[in-house]
Structure 1
Amino acid sequence: MKKDSKDDVSWRILKLWISIPRRIRLAFLWFVILGFSYLGWIKIIRRLFELE
């Protein structure tokens, strides 16, 4: 990929992200953060049960 096309793609993604209403963006970010933390907790709990 050339630098120009890479910048164009990132600019389009940024424009798309800005065009989405703020509440939906925040909900999406919270969903991603909670999803990763949930998966992390599942791994920790499974390891604890494996040790016993």
Structure 2
Amino acid sequence: MKKSNKDHLLWNMLKLWISIPRNIRVAFLWAFILGISYLGWVKLIHRFI
């Protein structure tokens, strides 16, 4: 893959990320964090039960 193509792809991804409204990005981030913490809690609970 040529460097220019890779840079172009990264730039398009960045533009797409910026074009997503901020509240949706924050919601996505929170969902990700909550999902990870939920999985962690489930593992902890299963360990003690």
Same fold (TM over 0.5): yes
Q: TM tier, shorter chain?
A: 0.7 to 0.9
TM-score, structure 1 normalization: 0.76
> Residue 12 of structure 1 aligns with which residue?
12
1:35 equivalenced with 2:35 (yes/no): yes
Give the direction of change, closer, same or farther, for the CA distance of 1:47–1:2 in structure 2 (3 Å limit): farther
Paired residues, number? 49
Q: Percent identity?
A: 65
- Give the CA RMSD over aligned residues: 1.3
**SS across alignment from 2:28:** helix
**Deviates most, 7-16 or 23-32:** 7-16
Deviations 1:2-49 (A, max 9, x none): 433332222221111100001111001000010111011101110111
Q: Which has the higher contact order (CA 8 A, sep 6+)?
A: 1
